[in-house]
Amino acid sequence: MTAAPSYTTTEQENRRSFETCVSLILRVIASVEFGPTLGVERPTREYLTAFALQVDRHAAEVALLSGRTGLDVAAQGQVWYDRLTQERDHPVQVAYHAMHMAAYLGLEQAELAATMLAVTAEALRVLARREGRVTH
């Protein structure tokens, strides 16, 4: 017998959407890191910038699930990005770290998970600005 929480249909849909988002973000980060090694083209600057915008949008939606309205998740993401870059010097490392945190926190801690999504969006923007100059 397993003990698992019971979720409503809406909660299940939110959870699936969150998990899909985390998975897609990890794939994009991995494509930046491993694409050249595997002979796959790295995402373009335009793609990374557009994807970061979608991550920000999703982060804002996740933040709403916390019940706090008017939260500037993107600004919090930038603050946390700056903090994390003091420990990890490359945006790919920061993005992975933030995504691990977001996946661990899940929707149960939606506000902080949303902030970690916003950190990842900021890391993607930094990568987009560096595109063409960064080798990994």
Q: pLDDT tens, 52-89?
A: 999 999 999 999 988 877 888 999 999 999 888 887 77
Is the residue at 27 inside a domain?
Answer: no
Q: How far apart are CA 79 and CA 119, in angstroms?
A: 8
End-to-end CA distance of the chain: 46
pLDDT at residue 97 tops 70: yes
pLDDT at residue 92 tops 70: yes
Is the residue at 35 inside a domain?
Answer: no
Q: Check: pTM over 0.85? Answer yes or no.
A: no
The count of structural domains within the chain is 1
pLDDT band at 133 (very low <50, low <70, confident <90, very high): low
Is the residue at 55 inside a domain?
Answer: yes
| Residue 67, pLDDT score | 84
List the domain range (segments joined by +) for residue 118.
14-20+43-129
Is the residue at 37 inside a domain?
Answer: no
For 6, other C-beta atoms within 10 Å of its C-beta total: 6
What region, left, alpha or beta, does residue 45 occupy, with left being phi > 0 and alpha being psi -120 to 50 degrees? alpha
pLDDT at residue 100 tops 60: yes
Is the residue at 2 inside a domain?
Answer: no
pLDDT band at 1 (very low <50, low <70, confident <90, very high): very low
